[in-house]
Structure 1
Amino acid sequence: MAEVQRHPLLTREEELQLARHYKESGDVNAAYRLVASNLRLVVKLAHEYHRNPLSLLDLVQEGNIGLMQAVKKYDPERGVKLSSYAAWWIRAYILRYIMDNWKMVKLGTTEAQRKLFFKLRQEQEKLIAQGFEASPKLLAERLNVTEQDVVEMDQRLGHDEMSIDAPLGNDDDSRTTRADRYLPSNSMPADERLGAEQLKALFREKLSEFARTLEGKERFIFESRLVSDEPLTLQDIGDKYGVSRERARQIEAALINRMRDFMREQIPDFDLVASPKA
Structure 2
Amino acid sequence: MASAVTLPVLSGGDSIESYIQRVNTVPMLSQEEETSLAQRYHQDNDLEAAKQLVMSHLRVVVSIARGYSGYGLPQADLIQEGNIGLMKAVKRFEPGRGVRLFSFAVHWIKAEIHEYVLRNWRLVRVATTKAQRKLFFNLRSMKPGFAALTTTEAQKIADDLGVKREEVLEMETRMSGQDISLVADDNDDEGYAPIDWLADHDSAPDATLARRATDKLHTEGLQMALASLDERSRRIVETRWLADEGSSLTLHDLAAEFDVSAERIRQIEAKALSKMKQTLLPA
Once the two structures are TM-superposed, the CA of residue 139 in structure 1 deviates from its matched residue by 4.4
Residue aligning to 2:164: 146
Of 144, 148, 157, the match for 2:175 = 157
Once the two structures are TM-superposed, the CA of residue 71 in structure 1 deviates from its matched residue by 0.2
Residue aligning to 1:79: 98
Once the two structures are TM-superposed, the CA of residue 18 in structure 1 deviates from its matched residue by 0.7
Of 75, 82, 102, the match for 2:121 = 102
Structure 2 CA distance for partners of 1:153 and 1:36, relative to 1, 3 Å: same
Of 49, 63, 77, the match for 1:58 = 77
Residue aligning to 2:48: 29
Moved more, 143-152 or 99-108: 143-152
8 Å CA contact 2:71, 2:121 repeated in 1: no
Once the two structures are TM-superposed, the CA of residue 175 in structure 1 deviates from its matched residue by 7.7
Structure 2 CA distance for partners of 1:25 and 1:146, relative to 1, 3 Å: same
Aligned partners of 2:34, 2:76: CA distance in 1, in Å?
A: 26
TM-score, normalised on structure 1? 0.52
CA displacement, residues 102-157 of structure 1 (integer Å, 9 cap, x when unaligned)? 2211112211211221233444426989x964475554334321244234323321
Residue aligning to 1:114: 133
Q: For 1:103, what is the secondary structure of its paired residue?
A: helix
Q: Where in structure 2 are there 5+ consecutive unaligned residues?
A: 1-19, 180-200, 216-283
Structure 2 CA distance for partners of 1:142 and 1:15, relative to 1, 3 Å: closer
8 Å CA contact 2:157, 2:168 repeated in 1: yes
Structure 2 CA distance for partners of 1:86 and 1:143, relative to 1, 3 Å: closer
Which protein has the larger Cα radius of gyration, Structure 1 or Structure 2?
Answer: 1
Structure 2 CA distance for partners of 1:103 and 1:79, relative to 1, 3 Å: same
Structure 2 CA distance for partners of 1:5 and 1:136, relative to 1, 3 Å: closer
Aligned residue pairs: how many? Answer: 171
Q: Where in structure 1 are there 5+ consecutive unaligned residues?
A: 162-167, 182-278
8 Å CA contact 1:136, 1:147 repeated in 2: yes
8 Å CA contact 1:70, 1:86 repeated in 2: yes
Q: CA RMSD in A?
A: 3.5
Percent identical pairs in the alignment equals: 42
